Structure 1
Amino acid sequence: MSSSFHADTPLAQRMRPTSLDAIIGQLHLLATGAPLRRLVEQGHLPSIILHGEAGIGKTTIAMLLAAAVGRPFHALSALNTGVKQLREVLDSKDSLNFESPVVFIDEIHRFNKAQQDALLGAVESGDITLIGATTENPSFSVNNALLSRCQVYRLEPLSAEQIATVLQRAITEDYQLKCLDINLQAEHFISELAHGDARKALNLLELAIQTADPKQSPLIIDDALIGRVAQTALVRYDKDGEQHYDMVSALIKSVRGSDPDAALYWMARMLVGGEPADFIARRLVILASEDIGNANPNALLLADTALRSVQSIGMPEARIILGQVVVYLATSAKSNSTYNAINAAMTLAEKDASPVPLHLRNGVTKLMRNEGYGKGYAYPHHYPNHYYPQSYLPDNLVGTRFYEFADNQREQHSKQFMDWLKNQAASNQ
């Protein structure tokens, strides 16, 4: 059988489901008893916002919801629709048609306030039913007044098994592909590259089939072929393998080396590859203390805040927070003095078991005090500048230094303050 493959309409478009039952994934919204399924069964469709990553079915679901309740459907894209075009659609309602049309706005988060306000009146009056689609968190990207009049539903990326089902359905049901003898061996690899995006998975499959040797029978679609056709557009990233650790290392070393551009690049590679945002944020918290430390204590505060924000917000918005903190850390003064100090102290602590000097012990009972606990301890707050020179180390370790002030402005300022305290104390004796 010939393996020639030509198609004017992209495979992803040809495989667009034609009924809600044909949609793969989103069972939390479309299964029996789920929210969107109940709306359709009741014949009622309110204004809604569909929130989720690209390629997971927002547009398709919007079209099929409108069809399921028998309503006219108008699709607009926020990328190329101004207020004038929007008002033309809103004003085009047929007065004899008592069913309000469904107006689908893709990338609704890109509408400015004026454009969103233009929708508000029509939604509020019931002249239209709005279905907005956004990859951004609608709480931050859609006007509160409009958001309060819509129900928000989160769509989830497809699982690896669901992507495999999408690919197999294309091979067996598409009118072009089912005429070919296809041996698909790269389901797992395509799923890794697609990251839950059915459209991306189908595009990869289509490109691989178009690239395969037409003399082959069957057409073998393996990892090597997928890797070649993906090239730099879809970067393979094994979150559980060696490359995972290589890229983490590259990110950390770029920040440590004060190169914000390289740091952003490696972090982007990790995010595009599906690395959890909170994993990256945790590594940045560690880095802020290890490689910046007291050269800029605010670095740790910002990194910790970023971790908490990333955990509460999630992707894709978390990329903005991570981008900010990576640039801040990369352009901050660097110091590993406290990192070296705690390591040196830990090393000595593993070998030394010196008792706590008596004057540093807490004499909470009369017996303890009679045994000398706390005797000779000088309370620093009773002395000028809240400082009194006394030994806080065991006798055998007196004079040991773990921490060395690094040559950055903040730590040198602390050194100058400590030197001043000691000089003042000496002059007062």
Structure 2
Amino acid sequence: MRKGKPASDPLFQPAEGLKPLAERMRPASLDDMVGQRRLLAPGSALRRAVESGRVHSMILWGPPGCGKTTLALLLARYAEAEFVAISAVLSGLPQVREVLAAAEQRFNEGRRTVLFVDEVHRFNKTQQDAFLPHIERGSILFVGATTENPSFELNSALLSRCRVHVLEAVSPDDIAEALRRALADEARGLGGQGIEVDDERLREIAGAADGDVRRALTLLEIAAELAADEGGRITEATLVQVLADRTRRFDKQGEQFYDQISALHKSVRSSNPDGALYWFARMLDGGCDPVYLARRLTRMAVEDVGLADPRALQMAIEAWDAYERLGSPEGDLALAQVVIYLASCAKSNAAYVAFKAAQADVREGGTQEVPIHLRNAPTKLMKQLGYGSGYQYDHDAPDGIALDQTAFPEAMGERVYYEPVDRGLEIKLKDKLDRLREARAAARKTRD
């Protein structure tokens, strides 16, 4: 680690005791950070760059409480640079320009600035573009933090000038280690206050934090305050009060939302009812609108189950209707039953594939004329023009099917879109259609 620290070092400010425990316990070096072993392992590219002070502009992408802000602070400290933080939620373009002007002045004076932009994905394109010339000149070391996929939320110009580093949610074991440090640290933490807690209670707090170190330290601080009135020991009864409202990470609009619905859909497709039920429960627990889930389940019924089991669509619609009538939590069970059924029954995407193929032919084939024998002839003139001429009424044909009659425009010839699979009801459909297609081909050959 580089020697010395600037007077503006944000890690060591007065009135530490007034700050929350999570703020007081921010790591003072890379060795103090918990989690992120892949990214910050000894000898890793990022660690070498930080420790040498030769840092680059970057985007830190990861869930809340995984260390994005702390890492930005350490970047500034190791680089002996001024640390300036703004939030995309609270700052507008005028403030951004003011901060950039101050950074430009420091740069001209030979001093560096690490500009940390929290929730950078909330800035629009114009606001993001404001950083570009300053990043290019090197007047700022730009560090953007985001919980959202940068590929979707940040413009390509900003991404091209920054390296994206992916941070992971911190494991419960690593969070428990951070809690132990806070309990032992007398200068910044809870050491010397007589707080007692066993490993099982610590693991319970770590698990409730759901990968968020900051949240875990906040929970520990609350528990310690309650325990101080009860002899200083954090017990199960203490945690019942502290952890009464456990919420999991879930963003109803962000990537995590779409990752989870993808996991649900793919679990259904893989005929894994247990996995599908887990993701369904996760999304409900996170506050996802059950009506949205009902709509997606209906889509799965037609896309992935299809005609292998037509009952699936009926069940999905009925469960949707049941939820509309019952609401939560009673109606949730109806949707859960559909999740299990969809994942357990026979699957076929043959109808989905057939429809896509027909759509492709429509797009590529232009406006094809309807064959004369299939045209409607409600007027005398249309009959005189031959509309409907040569049409064979299928009910009058042997077996109820006119085999030598085409249903396609003449320029196209026959097409086969729907190819049933050997699963569920489609086994019978396949057998019937195979026989019909062979008979039609033979009839056309005889006619030609």
Question: Structure 1-normalised TM-score?
Answer: 0.58
2:293 to 317, 326, 339: 326
Conservation of the 8 A alpha-carbon contact between 2:183 and 2:195: no
Q: What SS does the corresponding residue of 2:191 show, helix, strand or coil? A: helix
In the alignment, what sits opposite 2:388? none
What are the Cα deviations for residues 260-294 of structure 1, in whole angstroms up to 9, with x where unaligned? xxxx99x99xx89xx9665433456589xx9xxxx
Q: Matched residue of 1:104: which SS?
A: strand
Gapped regions of structure 2 (runs ≥ 5): 1-15, 303-308, 315-340, 346-397, 408-424, 427-448
Where does residue 221 of structure 1 map in the other structure? Answer: 235
**Unaligned ranges ≥5, structure 1:** 1-5, 238-263, 291-303, 305-309, 348-376, 387-401, 404-429
SS at match of 1:181: coil
Equivalent residue in structure 2 for 1:61, among 62, 71, 94? 71
TM-score, normalization by structure 2: 0.56
CA distance in 2, matches of 1:61, 1:333: 42
Counterparts of 1:70 and 1:15, CA distance in 2: 21
CA contact (8 A) 2:115 2:143 kept: yes
Alignment-derived partner of residue 220 in structure 2: 205
What's the counterpart of residue 29 of structure 1?
39
Can you list the C-alpha shifts for 1:290-325, whole angstroms capped at 9, x where unaligned? Answer: 9xxxxxxxxxxxxx9xxxxx9xxxx99xx9999996
The alpha-carbon deviation at position 383 of structure 1 amounts to: 4.5
User: Which residue matches 2:311?
Assistant: 338
SS of the equivalent of 1:183 reads: coil
Rounded to whole Å, the distance in 2 between the matches of 1:187 and 1:276 is: 28
Matched, 1:151 2:163: yes
After superposition, the C-alpha distances for 1:380-402 in whole angstroms (9 at most, x for unaligned) are 7835578xxxxxxxxxxxxxxx8
1:177: Cα distance to partner?
1.5
1:181 to 195, 200, 215: 195
Distance 2:290 2:48 in 1: 40
Q: Are the structure 2 counterparts of residues 192 and 383 from structure 1 closer, same or farther at C-alpha, using a change threshold of 3 Å?
A: farther
Deviation readout 1:205-244 (Å, 9 max, x if unpaired): 111111236242x51333x422322222x2489xxxxxxx
Q: Please state if 1:123 is matched with 2:144.
A: no
The question of whether the paired residues in 2 share the 8 Å contact of 1:192 and 1:236 is answered with no
Q: Once the 2 structures are TM-superposed, how far is the Cα of residue 69 of structure 1 from its aligned partner?
A: 1.3
Please point out which of 232, 235, 243 is paired with 1:230: 243
Offset at 1:140? 0.8
Report the alpha carbon displacement of residue 104 of structure 1 after superposing the two structures with TM.
0.6
Whether the 8 Å contact between 2:298 and 2:313 is mirrored in structure 1 is no
**Deviation sequence 1:114-145 (CA, Å, 0-9, x none):** 11011111112222110000000111111100
Q: Which amino acid aligns with 2:158?
A: L
C-alpha contact (below 8 Å) 1:27/1:34 kept by paired residues: no
Output the CA distance in 1 between the equivalents of 2:55 and 2:287. 34
Cα distance, 1:339–1:197 mapped onto 2, change above 3 Å: same
Deviations 1:167-215, CA, capped at 9 Å, x for gaps: 1111111445212231233122222211111011111111111123624
Contact 1:52–1:135 under 8 Å retained in 2: yes
Aligned in 2, Cα 1:33/1:337: closer, same or farther, shift over 3 Å?
Answer: same
1:99 counterpart (108, 111, 117): 111
* Preserved CA contact (<8 Å) 1:56 1:155: yes
Does the CA-based 8 Å contact 1:164-1:187 persist in structure 2? yes
Residues 101 and 324 of structure 1: CA distance in aligned 2, closer, same or farther (over 3 Å): farther
Deviations 1:138-177 (A, max 9, x none): 1111110010000000001111210110111111114452
Confirm or deny that 1:141 pairs with 2:162.
no
SS in 2 for 1:55: coil
Whether the aligned pair in 1 keeps the contact of 2:196 and 2:234 (CA below 8 Å) is yes
Q: Does the 8 Å CA contact 1:15/1:174 hold for their aligned counterparts?
A: no
How many angstroms apart in 1 are the aligned matches of 2:402 and 2:289? Answer: 42
Q: 1:236 to 1:60 in 2, by over 3 A?
A: closer
CA root-mean-square deviation: 4.4
Hey, what's the Cα distance between the residues in 2 that align with 1:27 and 1:329?
37
- The amino acid of 2:204's aligned partner reads F
Q: Report 1 or 2 for greater relative contact order, CA contacts < 8 Å, sequence distance ≥ 6.
A: 1
- Matches of residues 239-278 of structure 1 in structure 2 within 5 Å? none
Corresponding residue for residue 403 of structure 2: 382
- Tell whether the 8 Å contact from 1:56 to 1:197 is kept in structure 2 after alignment: yes
C-alpha distance in 1 between matches for 2:312 and 2:297: 18
Q: Is 1:47–1:123's contact at 8 Å kept on the other side of the alignment? A: yes
Q: What is the count of residue pairs matched by the alignment?
A: 292
Contact map agreement 2:223 2:234 (CA 8 A) in 1: no
* TM-aligned CA deviation for residue 39 of structure 1: 0.7
Asked if structure 2 preserves the Cα contact closer than 8 Å seen for 1:79 and 1:107, the reply is yes
Percent identity, aligned pairs only, is 36
Equivalent-residue separation in structure 2 for 1:138 and 1:188 (angstroms)? 33
1:6-21 to 2 correspondences below 5 Å? 8-21=18-31
Q: Which residue of 2 aligns with 1:52?
A: 62
Partner of residue 110, structure 1: 122
Aligned residue number for residue 50 of structure 2? 40
